[in-house]
A = this chain, B = another copy of it.
């Protein structure tokens, strides 16, 4: 490996969650060179006999213990010089997850595993900071016209919890009445009979996502047309 005149392929995973009303990303502390000791995205070399997505899931599981993520491809980056080992093309995937469902564990490649707020990232290996920012931007765009938010929530959730997810990712407050009106029109949620006690206040109704149409539920308005 690492010969001159060869091109290598890696996969990297950007896994997001929400903690304390802030968008967090999962990082590992590298146990090996290059960039030993720095934080980085989970990822590694593609094996010739495995699919790209499988490789991304495998690296994520091996390095962090996280399973069953929904993956989406972000983009592929291969700038000369981005990896000191040689010419490395990396295919980047991102995913969202309810961190309550996740049990982290370290591994041989990853000395440490942890969530970091995207507003307070440590010094990162490679071009991973840029990749995280691009990835966050992508989900900010995508959350407005798809259902990806459900990945960040438990199966049953309240409308306030859902709104909070949107507010966190969009980084602004939303109007409660307008939000609920919109959610209603979309017919993407099932109203459950159960409620959730949130401490000492009025119990909130629980909802669940209808999984039939996972994309394009927030119908975009057309721009130039007529």
Known A9-B7, A9-B9, A52-B89: A174·B79 in contact at CB below 8 Å: no
**Those of A61-105 within 8 Å (CB) of chain B:** 73, 75-76, 78-80, 86-87, 89, 91
The yes or no answer to A226 lying at the interface (CB within 8 A) is yes
Could you name 19 residue pairs across A and B whose Cβ atoms are closer than 8 Å?
Answer: A4-B48, A7-B8, A7-B46, A9-B78, A48-B87, A76-B76, A78-B91, A145-B223, A170-B225, A172-B225, A174-B224, A175-B226, A181-B226, A182-B223, A182-B224, A183-B224, A219-B223, A221-B221, A221-B223
Question: A178 CA to B222 CA in the complex, in Å?
Answer: 12
Whether the Cβ atoms of B89 and A174 lie closer than 8 Å is no
Known: A223-B145, A226-B178. A51 touches B75 (CB 8 A): no
Nearest B-chain residue to A48, judged by Cβ: B87
Across-interface contacts of A145 in B (CB, < 8 A): 223
How far does the Cβ of A99 sit from chain B's closest Cβ, in whole Å?
23
Chain B min CB distance to A118 (Å):
20
**What size tier do the contact residues of chain A reach?**
35 or more
B-binding residues in A (CB < 8 A): 4-9, 46, 48-52, 73, 75-76, 78-80, 86-87, 89, 91, 143-145, 166, 170, 172, 174-175, 177-179, 181-183, 186, 218-226
Asked, given contacts A9-B7, A48-B4, A52-B78, whether A179 binds B224 with beta carbons under 8 Å apart, the answer is yes
Q: How far is the CA of A172 from the CA of B224 in the complex (A)?
A: 12
